[in-house]
Structure 1
Amino acid sequence: MRVQALWQYPIKSLLGEPQKHLNVDTRGVVGDRLFAIVDAQGKLGSGKTTRRFKRIDGLFSLRAMTDGEALRIGFPDGRWTEISRATLNDELSGFLGEPVTIQQEQDVPHHDDAAVHVLLSTELQALQDDLPEVRIDPRRFRANIVLDSPKYITADGLMGRTLTLGSTRLLVTHKTERCGMVTMAQDDLTFAPQILRKIAQQFDVHFGVYAKVLRPGSISLGDAVAVSSEGAAQLPMRHADMPFK
């Protein structure tokens, strides 16, 4: 396997940016989901509603981009606003139709479920084969890492395995449970509800895998990926044991 694509999402549930390199620390990808849009009740803006999250329509119309040390939000009309701007919360509240603020992560990570999210090209191709009428694009699944994987590599086969990518080692812990976010329109991708239906039917609502960081380091496009059983003893016994729930 090799690293096919790398993505960072500086602000949770906003569109992200492709990267040539990622730095990884014990929290996960450096800068990934470090900020979030938060509603008046303190819930994180998302494409779904849970105990921690609240669905806020319009988030996929916004884009987060780093520019050196600065982080900016792009609006559909072409405006870009730095998150340090005093009027940003008012701009976001007006655009999203409810009072919101942008907040940096504190004690609890903003991740949905785990530190690093990985997709396999074989999974994407299998879904594309099942849904030839829909464009299956990795952007729908918001993974940090997309691996160019041979057909014999499966998500099931990676459970409990260690991935060495560049100078980083990751332990694959569990599969990624999907929600309606994978169906939403973004950029040139149209609304496609059949994607979630097919994932439920063919993949038991799981698509992609989550991983924890065993060794911080860096990952670059094209890096070879080594798979081993090292670290399997650290695999959580239950999904509910994950610290991000």
Structure 2
Amino acid sequence: MLVETLRRYPVKSMLGEEVAESRVTERGLDGDRVRAVLDVATGKIASAKNPRLWRGLLTVEGSRVPGDAELSELLGREVRLIDVPPEGAELERSVPEQVLAEGIEAEVPHTITTIGRGSPAGTFFDFAPIHLITTSTVERIGELSPRGHVEAVRYRPNVVIATEAAGFVENDWVGRELHLGEDVVLHVIVASPRCAIPTLAHGALERDTEALRTVSRHNRVPVFDLEPQACAGVYARVLRPGVVRKGDLVRLA
């Protein structure tokens, strides 16, 4: 297995940007999610997991960090950029099945998630500092989808790992150690349950509801004490920091 893609998500590019190498600390890839957008009215972190309100975040891509006024105009709500999470910071996650059924404009039920439960304090990760997916999983979703393909970027991973085995191979990695290159060691925590984000337009990529429907049909796995969830990829925490590069060998232990 090899590291195929490294990707981080700075505020200046909510779609993410690929890098050839990155230092990895307990807080994830350097420069990843070091700021967030705060909804002034609710005090919650803005996330495209609630696509009715925040899907516009997936249009932010450029060489500079947009200002509060510019973001507020784009999103249609007063927001501000923050670099320290409020105590008990939360975000809204629309029930993905309801988004599929009723559309992205509909006001559908949502759950409230406390950010960073699998991350060091003071970070803005939805759950854990590293999210990874394999080429096997992306290819399998594409094979099963009526479209015949799907783009890895829709699932917003930090690391795409090139694998040869067929299917959703990282389902079997939970609880194991993953060595990336000579330095970095990760502990795989849990499979990654998918929200509505993969279905949304990502920059030039149009909306694709099958990016979630296909996963929901074909890869539902247990997540902690929840009933089986539609999952693609896994979350991990950093056991040993270091530098990781595209093309590095990846080994399971």
Q: Quickly name the TM-score band, shorter chain normalised.
A: 0.7 to 0.9
Q: TM-score, normalised by structure 2?
A: 0.76
Match of 2:3 in 1: 3
- Are residues 1:148 and 2:148 paired? no
Q: Secondary structure at the match of 1:63?
A: coil
d(CA) in 2 for partners of 1:58, 1:208: 24
AA at the equivalent of 1:154: V
Runs of at least 4 residues off by over 4 Å = none
Cα distance in 1 for residues equivalent to 2:127 and 2:62? 21
Native 8 Å contact 1:44 1:54 kept in 2: no
Match of 2:49 in 1: 48
Q: Answer yes or no: is the 8 Å Cα contact 1:38–1:102 preserved in 2.
A: yes
Residues 58-86 of structure 1 deviation map (CA, whole Å, 9 limit, x = unaligned): 11111265xxxxxx23xxxxxxx4xxxxx
Q: Secondary structure at the match of 2:214?
A: helix
Equivalent residues of 2:13, 2:61 under 8 A apart: no
Once residues 58 and 161 of structure 2 are traced to their aligned partners in structure 1, the CA distance between those partners, rounded to angstroms, is: 24
- 2:78 corresponding residue in structure 1: 99
Indicate how the Cα distance of structure 1 residues 179 and 64 shifts in structure 2: closer, same or farther if over 3 A, else same: farther
Q: Cα 1:142–1:11, aligned 2, differ >3 Å: closer, same or farther? A: same
**C-alpha distance in 2, partners of 1:218/1:105?**
25
Q: Distance in 1 between matches of 2:7 and 2:68?
A: 26
Specify which of 194, 197, 209 is matched with residue 213 of structure 2: 197
Quote how far apart the aligned CAs of 1:92 are: 1.2
TM-score by length of 1: 0.78
Paired residues for 1:59-74 under 5 Å: 59-63=57-61, 65=63, 72-73=64-65
* Secondary structure of the structure 2 residue equivalent to 1:157: helix
Residues 1:111 and 1:122: Cα distance change in structure 2 (over 3 Å): same
For structure 1, list consecutive stretches of 5 or more residues without a partner in the other structure.
66-71, 74-80, 82-87, 229-245
**Bigger mean CA deviation after superposition, 6-15 or 162-171:** 6-15
For structure 2, the 5+ residue unaligned runs are: 86-120, 221-229
Could you say what the CA RMSD is over the residues aligned between the two structures, in angstroms? 2.1
| Corresponding residue of 1:215 | 240
Q: Residues 78-117 of structure 1: matches in 2 within 5 Å?
A: 81=66, 88-106=67-85, 107-117=121-131
Match of 1:124 in 2: 138
Aligned-partner Cα distance in 2 for 1:194–1:12: 28
1:6·1:18 contact (CA, 8 Å) conserved in 2?
yes
Q: What is the alpha-carbon distance in structure 2 between the residues aligned to residue 188 and residue 98 of structure 1?
A: 24
Question: For the structure 1 residues 208 and 158, does the alpha-carbon distance in structure 2 shift closer, same or farther, using more than 3 Å as the test?
Answer: same
